[in-house]
């Protein structure tokens, strides 16, 4: 199973590299609604430095930077991050928008307690096993300052695609080339152990529509 998961991870990396290459700026320039929510959470906490995981071509990272935050944008697609860097240069926010290629299955390349908030739109429900997600949340906890918040979104088991496509075990299913880990509420609760779980908000996105949860949890101060 470990070899299969490694193969799937490599396939997904190449899939996203090709997708961003063929469709530059594929999600447009407007920030996602979850990013707008995260910006309000970060502002209320007086955040200055935030980390976005799975930033892609940067619509949300650029939105945070436009609002005056210093942003570290991380993704495993160099193609997507190159588009982000170019957009930051055009917008005049390159001085507060950093971009780092990294795979969240490995330790995050950021110092302990170095950020005030972490945001991840759809990153947690990529082809990550439960064990990898637990490790990732541990890394998020490490890089967050006390009192910092994690805001993430995931597709859940009520989604129309949750039971279709190719199964890869551990709640991960592949449909149309995209592998998704469909979250149960129990998994959300597991990843919030040791945190304050502030909100699990259901919403829909896209034409299917995709059914998601927006999770906000805060590290005790």
Alpha helix segments (H runs only) across the chain: 2-22, 33-44, 59-66, 78-91, 130-143, 185-191
**CA separation for the pair 127, 44 (Å, rounded):** 32
Kindly list the structural domains of the chain, giving each domain's residue range(s) and its CATH number in brackets, ordered by start: 2-218 (3.40.50.150)
Asked if the peptide bond before residue 111 counts as cis, ω within 30 degrees of 0, the response is no
pLDDT digits (tens, 9 = 90+) for 92-126: 999 999 999 999 999 999 999 999 999 999 999 99
Specify the pTM: 0.90
pLDDT value at position 1? 44
Count CB atoms within 10 A of the CB of residue 185.
Answer: 12
pLDDT value at position 21? 60
- Sheet containing 70-75: which strands, arranged edge to edge? 97-101, 70-75, 49-53, 115-121, 144-155, 210-218, 196-205
pLDDT digits (tens, 9 = 90+) for 172-186: 999 888 899 999 999
């Amino acid at each position: 199973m470990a070899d299969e998961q490694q193969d799937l991870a490599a396939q997904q990396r190449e899939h996203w590299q090709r997708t961003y290459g063929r469709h530059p700026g594929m999600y447009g320039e407007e920030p996602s609604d979850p990013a707008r929510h995260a910006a309000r959470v970060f502002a209320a906490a007086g955040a200055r430095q935030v980390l976005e995981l799975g930033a892609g071509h940067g619509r949300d990272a650029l939105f945070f930077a436009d609002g005056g935050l210093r942003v570290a944008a991380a993704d495993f697609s160099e193609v997507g991050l190159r588009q982000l860097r170019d957009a930051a240069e055009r917008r005049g926010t390159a001085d507060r928008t950093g971009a780092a290629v990294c795979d969240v299955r490995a330790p995050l390349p950021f110092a302990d307690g170095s950020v005030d908030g972490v945001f991840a739109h759809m990153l947690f429900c990529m082809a990550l096993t439960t064990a990898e997600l637990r490790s990732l949340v541990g890394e998020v906890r490490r890089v967050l300052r006390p009192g910092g918040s994690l805001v993430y979104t995931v597709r859940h088991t009520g989604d129309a695609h949750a039971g279709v496509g190719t199964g890869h075990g551990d709640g991960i299913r592949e449909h149309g080339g995209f592998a998704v880990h469909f979250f149960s509420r129990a998994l959300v609760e597991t990843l919030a152990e040791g945190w304050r779980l502030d909100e699990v908000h259901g919403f829909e996105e896209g034409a299917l529509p995709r059914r998601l949860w927006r999770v906000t949890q805060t590290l005790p101060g």
